[in-house]
């Protein structure tokens, strides 16, 4: 098995903005991207991306999950990074066309085709540290992925960090390269010093998210997660899981969650915690590490509600349950 996201389809969809208009979308070899070494993105991180998936159903058809939400988020990220605006309908047809071209390669469940739309500032202008790139490029890469849970469905260990932050507070909603590079050192340190899988960033005691996934606390019939603001990424999986939880009659609370309340609730029997994101869907959290002490969440394993919510989402994605919220797009 190769690592998630390391295998690519041989072609991608691409379109260039020359400062006044977008070129017609083309399909080109996925290793052909020519950039000037002085390109804005390579110096000033004018880059944002998306991650969504296409699924193969039993009848052979291929469906894309919540494409509209992901395209909207890419448009918002682009705007917040002062990248040129693009037509969301053009992005949609680029995604549909490239997925259709490789429809035969979409793995069957539990695999899927991971779709990576990317927008970068291309203007060769190293003097523009404080000025937007006038030109840009949009491309859509495809990467077939297998079962995220091969090798076991183990509950993760998270280090709670209430001193640092993942990114500046106004940048959390932007799925942008710089945010990830900036979080690497704290994550590597947590791995080396605490054998933690991820860091749960909790600036000033406010429980936010990890490096690439949202955090949910599940306590009996309650699901608690931070209310949307600009400080963290508004996950499409988070939104989908909360919607399904409401459908199941759960008490969904989008509000502030402090480290203190998190640790207090975690100790209760039956308490669960999970990370949500497109890659991992919903992954259980079994241990929290805070100020050198370890706290087990519930029984420390993979919780029943976590599994039930993950299955409910997978069932819709895989065409085994009715798509009651209209989340799937046919090619």
Ligand X SMILES: *Cc1c(COP(=O)(O)O)cnc(C)c1O
CB of 123 to ligand X, least distance (A): 25
- Rounded to a whole number of angstroms, the minimum distance from the CB of residue 280 to ligand X is 9
Considering only 11, 209, 219, 272, the residue that binds ligand X (CB under 6 A) is 209
Give me 70's structure tokens.
């992901």
DSSP 106: P
Q: How far apart are the first and last CA of the chain?
A: 28
Per CB under 6 A, 213 contacts ligand X: yes
Integer Cα distance of 268 and 280 in angstroms: 25
CB of 249 to ligand X, least distance (A): 23
235 lies in the binding site for ligand X (CB under 6 A): yes
**Min separation Cβ 63 and ligand X, Å:** 17
- Map residues 28-57 to x or -, x wherever contact with ligand X holds by CB under 6 A: -----------------------x------
175 near ligand X, rule: CB under 6 A: yes
* Residue (101 or 191) nearer to ligand X, CB: 191
Which of the residues 278 through 297 are near ligand X (CB under 6 A)?
278
H/E element, 188 = helix 177-194
Shortest reach from residue 165's CB to ligand X, in Å? 12
Note whether 158 and 74 are within 8 A (CB): no
Kindly provide the b/e burial profile for residues 92-115, where b requires at least 16 CB atoms within 10 angstroms of the residue's own CB: bebbbebbebbeeebbebbbbbbb
Q: How far is the CB of 81 from ligand X (least distance, A)?
A: 14
Residue with tokens 């296409």: 54
238 contributes a contact to ligand X by CB under 6 A: yes
Burial of 16: CB neighbours in 10 Å, binned 0-12, 13-18, 19+: middle
CB 282 within 8 A of CB 276: yes
Find residue 218's DSSP bridge partners.
Answer: 223, 272
Sole binder of ligand X in the list 198, 276, 287, 329 (CB under 6 A)? 276
Q: Would you tell me which residues interact with ligand X (CB under 6 A)?
A: 51, 175, 209, 212-214, 233, 235-238, 276-278
């Amino acid at each position: 098995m190769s690592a998630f996201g390391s295998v690519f389809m041989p072609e991608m969809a691409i379109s260039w903005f020359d400062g006044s208009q977008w070129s017609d979308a083309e399909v080109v070899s996925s290793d052909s991207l020519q950039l000037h070494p002085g390109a804005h993105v390579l110096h000033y991180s004018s880059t944002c991306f998306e991650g969504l998936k296409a699924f193969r159903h039993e009848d052979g058809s291929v469906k894309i999950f919540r494409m509209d939400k992901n395209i909207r988020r890419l448009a918002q990220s682009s705007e917040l990074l002062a990248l040129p605006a693009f037509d969301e309908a053009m992005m949609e047809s680029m995604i549909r066309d490239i997925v259709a071209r490789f429809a035969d390669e979409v793995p069957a469940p539990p695999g899927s085709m991971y779709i990576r739309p990317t927008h970068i500032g291309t203007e060769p202008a190293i003097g523009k540290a404080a000025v937007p790139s006038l030109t840009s490029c949009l491309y859509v890469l495809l990467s077939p992925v297998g079962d995220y849970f091969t090798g076991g469905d183990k509950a993760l260990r998270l280090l709670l960090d209430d001193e640092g932050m993942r990114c500046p507070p106004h940048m959390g909603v932007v799925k942008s390269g710089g945010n990830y590079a900036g979080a690497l050192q704290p994550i590597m340190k947590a791995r080396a010093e605490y054998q933690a899988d991820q860091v749960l960033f909790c600036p000033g005691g406010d429980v936010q998210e990890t490096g690439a996934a949202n955090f949910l606390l599940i306590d009996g019939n309650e699901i608690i997660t931070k209310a949307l603001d600009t400080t963290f990424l508004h996950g499409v999986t988070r939104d989908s899981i909360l919607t399904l939880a409401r459908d199941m009659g759960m008490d969904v609370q989008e509000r502030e969650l402090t480290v203190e309340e998190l640790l207090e609730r975690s100790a209760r029997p039956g308490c669960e915690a999970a990370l949500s994101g497109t890659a991992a869907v919903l992954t259980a959290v079994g241990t929290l590490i805070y100020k050198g002490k370890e706290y087990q969440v519930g029984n420390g394993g993979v919780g029943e509600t976590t599994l039930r919510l993950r299955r409910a989402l997978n069932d819709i994605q895989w065409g085994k349950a009715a798509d009651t919220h209209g989340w799937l797009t046919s090619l």
